[in-house]
A = this chain, B = another copy of it.
Amino acid sequence: MKYGVVAFPSKKLQDLANGYRKRYDPHYALITPHMTIKGVFDADDKEIEQVAKAIQEVASKHKPFELNVSKVSTFAPITNTIFFKVTVNDDILALHKDLNEDFFGDQPEYSFVPHITIAQKLTSGEHDDIIGQLKMVGADHTEMIDRIHLLYQLEDGSWTVYETFRLDGVN
C-alpha cells in the first residue's frame, strides 16, 4: 500500500489553494491542499505499524513549526507544477530530515522544496498562460502547524488519513 506524510494547512489557506486547484489541478479531488513532508513510499500492513510508531517518536520530538507562504512559484521546466512556496526554516528542515534520512522508505531524489501545489499536469502553453498572473497575485499568509498526518492511497488515487501526530516536542 502507498503511504505519505503531509501537513494540512488551515481552512483559510486550503480554501485559497482550492480556488486555483479547482481549475488547474487534476488531483484536486484526490486530496485536500497539503505540504508533503515525506513523499510516497510503499509499506505492507505489518511495516506500517512500525513506521507509524517511528513517526510518532519523531513527532513527539519536534515542536510546531511556522508555515509562511509569501509567493507563487513554479517547478517549470522540470514539471509544470505551480505552488505556494513555503519559506524554509530550521523547524521544517529538521522535521523533513528526521522523516527522510535514515528513515523508512527511499531517500528523496530531489532536494526538499516545501510547497503547497495549486496547479499541475498543465501543458506548457497552459502553464505559461497563467504563471505570470498567479505570480503577480502572489500569496501572503503565516500560520503555525502543530500536527502532521500519515495518509494511504486508495485504488482510485484518493488519499485517506491513517493517523495524526501532534508535534508536541519542545525543540
Q: What residues of chain A have their CB less than 8 Å away from a CB belonging to chain B?
A: 1, 8, 11, 14-15, 18, 22, 28-30, 32, 147, 149, 152, 154-156, 158-164, 166
Contact = CB atoms under 8 A, between A and B. Distances in A.
Contacts of A156: 15, 18, 22
A87 to B, nearest CB: 22
Given A8-B161, A11-B1, A32 B154 contact: yes
A116 to B, nearest CB: 13
A163 B160 contact: no
A121 to B, nearest CB: 16
Contact of A154 (B1, B11, B149, B162): B11
A130 B30 CA distance: 26
Contacts of A160: 8, 11, 14, 32
A147 B11 CA distance: 23
Given A154-B15, A155-B15, A29 B29 contact: yes
